[in-house]
Amino acid sequence: MRNNYWSCTKFADWLRGTPKPYAETSKGWRNWNAAAKEAHKFRYWLAEEGLDAIQGAILYIPDAIYSVKYYVNNRWVTRTHSLTAHPRDIKPGNWCDVGNRFLPCLFNELVDFVEIELAWWHVVWDEESRKKFKSPWYATGWFRWRTWRNPECGLANLEWQRNLVWNEDEMLDKDDPRYGKPTSQAIKAQEILDLYTWWTVERPKRPDPHEISGWTAICNKRREADKGFFDYEDRTEEEREETKKALDLCTEIEQRYEQEDEDMMIRLIKIRQGLWT
């Protein structure tokens, strides 16, 4: 629940007698803990166990209130127990078969992840970003309700992530073959960006199969010839050929779209472990 642990403060470093690293590998943390205990066993216990115990006692009530706040937020505001579709994709009150819910629900959650979760991540530790993207007071801190949406801020976070490379900051030597190459986090961020762009930009621009197949034009032409009445019945061999050609093309386009949707949904499932903040 807490943003800061007292055992990670400068006071704790003084009390312990051994400064705590800002970041380390698992092996590095094991070595540091062993060395810190060996140097000042009792002081290590005071800093690592004692301060946490005192913090837990003092912040018991605030932590309890914070837990209730987050339960309310998760249960009724962000509803993290469910997958939801945007009204533009599935209108409330309209019937939608289960198989047709998967795509919009999954990708709407991806949009929320980028525009809400990553936007929060981008500003929570950076004062300059908060100013740049004009994040409101309820976007970060104790009173955060996870309702602030900012696509540009979320995309800025993805831009930062996808440019991460293996280097000294990642505890990597320059002679390592991975040095200078994108990290696994960067690769996942690129995939998230591609999927987000496909759903929000590319997919909405797909032409209507009925339009580009010519079927809409055929219907309009025949409806106009019959003065508004059109029963879809072919009356001549020419009309039958025209209908078959248009509907075959329409079916082909729809199947191609369906395959693209399925491929993208599979890609999203494969990248699911990268959807965290």
Quickly state the pLDDT bin for 230 (edges 50, 70, 90): low
186 plus 89 within the same structural domain: yes
b/e map of 138-171 (b: 16 or more CB within 10 Å)?
A: ebbeeebebebebeebbbbbbeebbebebbeeee
Q: Which pLDDT tens digit goes with each residue over 34-80?
A: 999 999 999 999 999 999 999 999 988 988 887 887 688 778 777 77
Residues 135 and 70 in one domain: yes
Residue 1 CB contacts under 8 Å (≥ 6 apart), including other chains: 63, 66, 67, 70
Q: Which residues contact 214 (CB under 8 A, 6 or more apart)?
A: 245, 246, 249
Q: Which residues pair with 165 in a beta bridge?
A: 182
Q: Say yes or no: 163 and 217 in one domain.
A: no
Tell me, yes or no, whether 226 lies in a domain.
yes
Q: Which domain holds residue 225?
A: 206-263
Residues 236 and 130 in one domain: no
* CA proximity to 160, closest of 134, 112, 128, 204: 128
pTM: 0.80
| CB-CB contact of 114 with 155 (8 Å) | yes
Is 90 contained in some domain? yes
Q: Is residue 2 part of a domain?
A: no
Helix axes 51-58, 60-72, angle to 10 degrees: 60
- Could you say which DSSP state residue 198 is in? I
* 89 and 197 both lie in a single domain: yes
List pLDDT tens digits, range 136-192: 998 988 878 888 999 999 999 999 999 999 987 777 788 888 899 999 999 999 999
Give how many domains the chain has, as a whole number: 2
Residue 214 lies in a domain: yes
Q: Which residue among 176, 203, 230 closes a domain?
A: 203
Q: Which amino acid is at 21?
A: P
